[in-house]
Structure 1
Amino acid sequence: MSSGPVDRRTFVRMLGAAGVAVGLAGPLGYWGAAPAAAASARGAHQPFMHGYDAAALKSWSPETDRWARYFRSRVPLAARIPAFAATQADPGLATGPKLMNLSFDYDNSFFSAYKYGDVFARRLLRFWQYTDLYGSWHGMPVDGSPEDEPVHGVVNLPNPAWTDAAHRNGARSLGCWFWPRTGEFGDYLERRADGSYPVADGMLAMAEYFGFDGYFINQEAEIPPAEARELMRMLEYLRAKAPDGFHLQWYDTIMTDGKLDYQNAFNDKNADWVQHGDTPVNHSLFANYWLTEEGVATSRRTALERGLDPYEAVFHGTETEKYGFNPPFDARIVCPDGEPARTSWALFGSHFPWDRYPDREDPDAQGEVFVRERHYWSGPNEDPTRTGRTEYVPWPDEDDGKPRDEHNFRKWDGVARYITERSVIGGFPFVTRFNTGHGRAFFLAGRQVSDREWNNISIQDVLPTWQFWTRGAGGAEPLRAEYDYGLAYDGGCSLRFSGRLTPEGPTTARLFKTRLRVTGGERARLVYAAEGRVELGLITEEDPGTTVWLPADRPRAGGWTTAELPLAALAGRTVAAVAVRFSTTGGPADHTFRLGELAFLDGRPAPHPAAPAGFTVDAVHPAGDTAEVFLSWRLARQGVWYYDLTRELPDGRTELLGRILDDVYYVQALARAGSERGTELRLTAVAPDGTRGGTAVATVRRPD
């Protein structure tokens, strides 16, 4: 992405034909007890993602793309519930504006990318509730390209783990098209005698197979007029053939004659890339970053004159990848305080809080990264109900391309200032363990089953809608909310509330926006570890000013407590928000409360998924006392939330090797336990309500 003409050299240097890398992917390990040294290098047979050039796109098929089956997203796109202003963090904020979040995934993987890995200190997104479109930005070399002189493809896929997380939260995930690259651009525009475009057909087939929802088109180099006309025809063809829900977003780059000329607005010079006469081309435009009052007004007017919804067709951009919390062009031009936004909004660089933090690779320093992330999304107070900058010094008239005070979060309003929170919690069952998708250990039913670091955003739970909306009664300081990676009930972390508590000052935390219609037999389940009283609060659409409090059981000492809370008292009403309250009957003292699971269940008998069918060891590549292992099985059509892959150790302990919703899994370094000749692996299906189902068994045989 460019910050305008003054800075496009930086972008082309990073993503241009030379394919210069700005970062390397961390190694993918496994969650078992492999030697530490094994986690420092890519496995000899390890699957990794790559880019696609014209030849690869024209001939693409999953049978010839060697690692394709390991990079599919299998989580369907969740439906979001309708807006309900009464339970918004800001009830007056307009719900129409959307957000495009253009960002890299785990670690800016230019040369290799993996679906899951063995490092805790990786960038993840914990704020999907504000994103409508997610796009990956980095490019990758084509398969077989040498690492010393990489040849990058024009098209790269979004990381499927990130697509899984986006879909679980109702956001669409886009692949990326970037030009310039090496080769002749005309190769991408081949048109067959029947009028079809093989590159476009390949792009559609890849999106369907890999499970993502469209493409971000960044044509950031001049091309001849004839090629520009053919590119438009190809995009018209692509959109016409695309399924419902597919999205093409055009970046504000070339004109219809092929000349590169950033307009910083949606106007008559670039609007044909969205709608050419009566023919749809792309669905929307990401306008370049030089925000002006006149430019935004022009964007809105142009959309309306062409019969387009400004919130659907125009996304005005803000760059934070370089400028951090203090970008030179004020987002209030797009989203003026006290008024509805004029267009939708786009972010380039929401990875900034992690990527620009000096100690980002230090697992012990991630707490500060999480604070920076809350500043970015929830504002200076880390609270979406109290957004808005507390400092502001206007930039000089001319942007010189250099950041100024980019780490000062007091100069940033927070995304929640302008974009309403979304939710997918519209039916039973709903279960969250507050698992962010990485950890320093792994837990099952409150018991640690791995002591290894890991990252896998594919299995991230739906996280709290508000991070964090806490209040102390009577003006008391509320307990501080954090994700706790030292203790979890299921996954890598729990949600911890800690601090000073008095009997007169209980803490209330508003957690989830919901639309749960209660008929009478439903129940809530809360798993917690506490030093005081815990209550579950339910707010209904029928009476949003009142919270119905359901007291949980007295916590047992030294472990997790599970409370089953019938919802019969709310029969005939719709739960619109969920809260918790923490209190104490003792004197003022420091307290810690942890939430390990929150579930809303429909009261029917829990289903037990069948054991996975066809569980097979496809390949084993031994190396000393470890082995790379490729596994597969038949993915259930419905009724499965995820699969857990475990092994039983000689001392009787269970060790988790991985969790995934897929039909394949790669283990980088399965360690031999003692002198065993074979390792018995177990694959267990888990239902959407968390019920563990049948288990299939396969054995990894060791050579002599």
Structure 2
Amino acid sequence: MKWFWVGILCCFCTKAAAESLSFTLAQALDWSAQQASEQRHNRASTPLASRVLVSEAQLWPLQDPRIRVLVAPDGMDNLAFEQPQQRMNHYLFRHWSLIDVFNWFAGTADNTVNLPAASWVEVAHRNGVKVIGSVFFAPTAWGGHPERVAHALAQDDMGRFVLADQLIAMADYYGFDGWLINQETDLTALPEAEAQQLAKRMQQFMAYLMANRPEGMEIHWYDAMLTNGAVRWQNEYNDKLAEFIRPERQLLADGVFLNYFWRQGQPERSNQLATAQGIDPFLIFTGADVWPGRNDQPAFRNTEWLSALFAADSGQSWTSLALFGVNFSYRYDGDARQPAFHQFSQDPAEVQQFYQTEQRFFAGDDLKVTAKATSGSWPGLQRYIPAKTVVQQLPFMTNFNTGHGWHWFERGEKVRGSWHDIRQQDLLPSWQFAVLGHGEAAVSYDFEKGWRGGSALLVHADTSKGAVQLPLYLTDLTLQGSEQLSVIYQSTRSDADLQLCLWSAAEQQHCLPLTQHQQQPEVSWHTQHFALQALTNKRISRIELLIKQQAAATSVHLGQLAIE
């Protein structure tokens, strides 16, 4: 793992942002829930939401439903706030429907055990995404030492691994979902037999951790150390890596996070060996270091790695995917190969550039999930990764609030100024953003308007050449007939032909017309309610906005959408 770059990143991170918990090894071994009462604010209480993949409502036909996606921003302990802030321009993440695991990637030679901030666990859990902390043993060049590894692997008189029990207790107490064990300290400075024995104890530690973790807790291993104690990144699941992580035909982790120095053919070989050994190849996470200034899988500059991981003709993936450094969308200084995308971390006025950078990463260069990529362009990861949804039961409500804003709105009125609190983030659209039909549309979050929170969803549509369909939410809802859909919105045209459409099985569409009668439609928020008796016993798989063909352009703000 490229810890040189992590060191550079943290040079310009502010201490004020580091509000997640990091422990030295001694502190972690001494930790107890009874002594942690002063850290109660860092306990997450939101349970992990159930979520599903609804195949018939996906927008791309060639997507692999087996793939899992882990996201590991680079240096989360320097990016997260636990308490609300009065400045909006801090980091947040929005594409939860596309990922399965959020790894709180952090650590130094001294800070071995790194826990996620509760605010991030809360929003991830609402989206059905697991959050795992990091146990980091640093490379010797960065202060790592075999003695620290040996200390971490200490056993009590009954043979129990003390640190493993502590890790299980910490995850339970703080309300997150597991750990990445990232052992990058080379042990070969020790005598050969001693190094091999310490590596063997690490295998025993992993086996103990797996055997004693509660149901649902995930343990991941990073591709670094081998059975002789040497750190040699394999960059694929091969015999050497299997010798360490699968001794006696037992996989010692729920996921194996592969390093990034791989090339064409290696993901396929990982799949082949895992399959031959009876291992689900989607427990193998091929690593992609997408930081634009690096050389392996830089976002936007290199698309070859996508064709190595995903088959072009079928869209099938060889393994799961671990995305490292996705926070480049927030703070990337630029270089000769890729200029900086924006200066949002210094200037909140550049919020749209920040949003477009993450949107481009997932939706493609044209910022539209459903558009066909041209040769040489960045296609976006959502072309390959199907969306998943937690919207399986009611009530469902969103104010399209992303978790920060220039203002806080209540009932459409500004009540206070700039703020940032990711806990407040609503369930955001499953596709950000998809445009179907013959018309044209630009979709974004507007921070100058909102119903409740910091933003509204803004659609600028040109329907002179045809209608525009905007898929918003993937759902898996079976209606009883007593439900009511409500929407709060604004439109620049009182005669705009707007409809909210609910899709059921067999592509059946039930559309609800939005009508307004005010003389100045853009001044006021309008509320409409719709009874859903006609959809009794229908399974709803998608909610979308439809703007019918008209000569004049239309702008629409959605402030709230609810089904209760």
Equivalent position to 1:179, from 126, 137, 150: 137
Output the CA distance in 2 between the equivalents of 1:214 and 1:21: 28
Relative distance call for 1:175 and 1:555 in structure 2 (3 A) is farther
- Show the 5 A alignment for 1:120-519: 120-139=88-107, 152-180=110-138, 181=143, 184-185=147-148, 186-223=150-187, 224-311=195-282, 313-321=283-291, 322=294, 323-327=298-302, 330-339=305-314, 340-356=316-332, 357-361=341-345, 362-386=347-371, 388=373, 390-391=375-376, 410=377, 412-451=378-417, 453-472=418-437, 475-476=438-439, 478-502=440-464, 505-519=466-480
Offset from partner CA, 1:607-643 (integer Å, 9 cap, x none): xxxxxxxxxxxxxxxxxxxxxxxxxxxxxxxxxxxxx
Output the CA distance in 1 between the equivalents of 2:102 and 2:366: 25
Q: CA deviation at 1:219?
A: 1.1
TM-score normalised over the length of structure 2 = 0.88
Q: CA deviation at 1:497?
A: 0.8
Offset from partner CA, 1:420-470 (integer Å, 9 cap, x none): 11111111111111111111111122222212x221112211111111112
Offset from partner CA, 1:568-615 (integer Å, 9 cap, x none): 111121011111123587x52x432110111111xxxxxxxxxxxxxx
Indicate conservation of the 8 Å contact 1:22/1:110, yes or no: no
Output the CA distance in 1 between the equivalents of 2:227 and 2:153: 15
Output the CA distance in 2 between the equivalents of 1:12 and 1:581: 45
SS in 2 for 1:480: strand
Indicate conservation of the 8 Å contact 1:116/1:161, yes or no: no
Which one-letter code corresponds to 1:207 in the other structure?
A
| Structure 1 gaps, min length 5 | 3-7, 28-46, 141-150, 392-409, 602-704
Q: CA deviation at 1:485?
A: 0.7
Indicate conservation of the 8 Å contact 1:58/1:198, yes or no: yes
Q: CA deviation at 1:165?
A: 1.7
Indicate conservation of the 8 Å contact 1:318/1:331, yes or no: no
Counterpart in 1 of 2:499? 535
SS in 2 for 1:351: helix
Q: CA deviation at 1:526?
A: 0.8
SS in 2 for 1:97: coil
Output the CA distance in 2 between the equivalents of 1:111 and 1:508: 36
Output the CA distance in 2 between the equivalents of 1:115 and 1:287: 34
Counterpart in 1 of 2:55? 85
SS in 2 for 1:201: helix
Counterpart in 2 of 1:116? 84
Q: CA deviation at 1:229?
A: 1.2
Output the CA distance in 1 between the equivalents of 2:303 and 2:542: 37
Output the CA distance in 2 between the equivalents of 1:188 and 1:555: 69
Indicate conservation of the 8 Å contact 2:79/2:90, yes or no: no
Alpha-carbon RMSD across the aligned residues, in angstroms, is 2.3
Relative distance call for 1:338 and 1:125 in structure 2 (3 A) is same
Indicate conservation of the 8 Å contact 2:156/2:162, yes or no: yes
**Which has the greater radius of gyration?**
1
Counterpart in 1 of 2:337? none
Output the CA distance in 2 between the equivalents of 1:528 and 1:284: 44
Q: CA deviation at 1:329?
A: 5.6
Relative distance call for 1:510 and 1:110 in structure 2 (3 A) is closer
Offset from partner CA, 1:90-139 (integer Å, 9 cap, x none): 1232211111111147xx54498534322211221110111111112232
Which one-letter code corresponds to 2:185 in the other structure?
A
Percent identity between matched residues is: 27
Relative distance call for 1:499 and 1:246 in structure 2 (3 A) is same
Which one-letter code corresponds to 2:231 in the other structure?
L
SS in 1 for 2:36: coil
Output the CA distance in 2 between the equivalents of 1:86 and 1:437: 30
Offset from partner CA, 1:338-370 (integer Å, 9 cap, x none): 231111112111111222134122100111111
| Structure 2 gaps, min length 5 | 188-194, 333-340
Counterpart in 1 of 2:42? 71
Counterpart in 2 of 1:567? 532
Offset from partner CA, 1:455-513 (integer Å, 9 cap, x none): 111221111111111235xx33x2311101111101110001124454x7443211111
Indicate conservation of the 8 Å contact 1:425/1:514, yes or no: yes
Q: CA deviation at 1:14?
A: 5.2
Q: CA deviation at 1:297?
A: 2.7
Q: CA deviation at 1:276?
A: 2.3
- How many residues matched? 530
Indicate conservation of the 8 Å contact 1:110/1:139, yes or no: no
Is residue 598 of structure 1 aligned with residue 561 of structure 2? yes
Counterpart in 2 of 1:662? none
Equivalent position to 1:23, from 4, 13, 16: 13
Which one-letter code corresponds to 2:54 in the other structure?
F
Output the CA distance in 2 between the equivalents of 1:595 and 1:320: 33
Output the CA distance in 2 between the equivalents of 1:272 and 1:51: 31
Output the CA distance in 2 between the equivalents of 1:162 and 1:487: 25
Relative distance call for 1:444 and 1:584 in structure 2 (3 A) is farther
Indicate conservation of the 8 Å contact 2:21/2:117, yes or no: no
Indicate conservation of the 8 Å contact 2:501/2:545, yes or no: yes
TM-score normalised over the length of structure 1 = 0.71
- Larger helix share, 1 or 2: 2
Output the CA distance in 2 between the equivalents of 1:59 and 1:525: 52
